[in-house]
Structure formats: structure tokens, C-alpha cells
Amino acid sequence: MSEEKSQQPQLAPTGTIDNQYLHASENWFEYPVRVQPHHTDYAGVVWHGAYIAWMEEARIECLRSIGIEYTDLVALGCELPVVEMSIRYHQVLQLGKAAVVKTRMEEVTGVRINWNYAIQSIDGQDLHVSAKVTLVAMDREKGKIMRQLPPRVKEVFARLSASKK
């Protein structure tokens, strides 16, 4: 029976993930947030879905920071729905606390766009959430995944990748 347990997939220890996100601060777009009452449960702790909303806001603001409005992507006929998400909750955030949502585009492979996130204390000492999100380019008119990114969209993501270097 102990052999069966050792063969099961294991998550990396939280400390390993903490170090990865707390010390990898280069090339992250930073989006500050403050916990408001509507973000919390009855105990004053941030509800898990609020973190996801903050990650979405940070991604949109990251694009805006390089001059790309999400509405422009939509006008080009391109939607970017989330198709995969992995999120790990490390430490709760409570009512009234401030934090920073860090995001960066990790890579574009075909029509898949991968983003990393870290939600940290303002001083960078505490990691609250780490996450990875995968988006795909979807043709709004046809409602189907595109075979390739439209040239203008590809250019946008190339510019974002270049800004990371």
C-alpha cells in the first residue's frame, strides 16, 4: 500500500512555490488592490472568487499598459476565454488589507496564451495566491477556436513578450 501512495502525483511543497513567486519579481505587471467588504465572507476573509476577478483585472490592465484595449481585440473579432486555470491559495487576505496582483504573459504557443500570477502583500513578504491561466484565441463570429492568432493580435503579444526582456 505504501508503494501506491508514493506513485500518486504529488503537489510541490508550498514553500517551493512561495520562493518561486516571492523572488521572481522581474518583468511582472503590478496591479494594486484593497480588500473591500464585498470581496469577503462573513469572517472578513477574501472569498476565493475575488482573487480570480483581480487576476482578470490585472491581465486587462497589463494589456492596457502597453496600449492595447481589450475592446480593440474584441473589435478585431478575437475573444480570449480562459480554458485552463490552476490556482493555489497560500495565505488568507482580510478585510481592509492591501495587496498587489502581479501578472505576466509567460508564453504564446499557437493560439494558447499562458499567464502567471502572484498575489502578494504590498511589501512582497507574504504570498497569498499563485496561479497559472491559459487563454485561447476564439473567433467571436464563428464561436470557434482560431487556427492561428490574427496578425494584429500576434503583434500585440510579441510586443508584450519583448517588454519582458
Indicate which residues carry an active-site annotation. 41
β-partners of residue 46 are 40
Q: Pick left, alpha or beta for residue 106 (phi over 0 → left; psi -120 to 50 → alpha; otherwise beta).
A: alpha
E strands of 48-152, at which residues?
78-79, 82-89, 98-109, 112-121, 127-136, 138-139, 144-145
Residue 35, CB half-sphere, CA atoms under 13 Å: how many?
25
Cα–Cα distance between 101 and 32 in angstroms, integer?
6
Which positions ≥6 away from 81 have C-beta within 8 Å? 135, 136, 138
140 DSSP 8-state letter: T
C-alpha grid cell for residue 149? 492568432
Residue type, position 159, single letter: R
